[in-house]
Amino acid sequence: MDGKNKAIIIDAIVSNEGVGTIYRLTPEELKSRKKNDLTSLHQFGVCEAIEIAAQAGVIPEIVIFGIVPKDYQSTDTKLTPELR
């Protein structure tokens, strides 16, 4: 992100909403909602990566799109029919 004006992050996200639900969030919104009902599928999440970038002084404007997948266990790179 160093030297960039804007970053768009797209990631799978755990939510109580249906498959294919798309969230558009700022880092602050993700951080506050993470405590409630949204969770990253990674051990090292988007919020943590943004915090490290901020500490290093390389933080552009960030928009996050979180999409609820059908299957949280699969590591396939193809989209399921619900997300196409």
Q: What pLDDT sits at residue 44?
A: 63
Q: Tell me the domain boundaries of the chain.
A: 6-70
Q: Tell me the pLDDT of the chain (84 aa) as tens digits.
A: 667 788 898 988 888 889 999 999 998 888 887 655 555 555 567 777 788 888 888 778 899 998 988 887 777 778 888 877
- Residue (of 58, 48, 55, 51) closest to 5 by Cα position: 58
- Residue (of 8, 9, 66, 63) closest to 41 by Cα position: 66
Q: What pLDDT sits at residue 20?
A: 93
Q: CATH homologous superfamily of domain 6-70?
A: HybD-like (3.40.50.1450)
Q: What pLDDT sits at residue 39?
A: 56
CA–CA separation, 70 vs 74, rounded Å?
Answer: 9
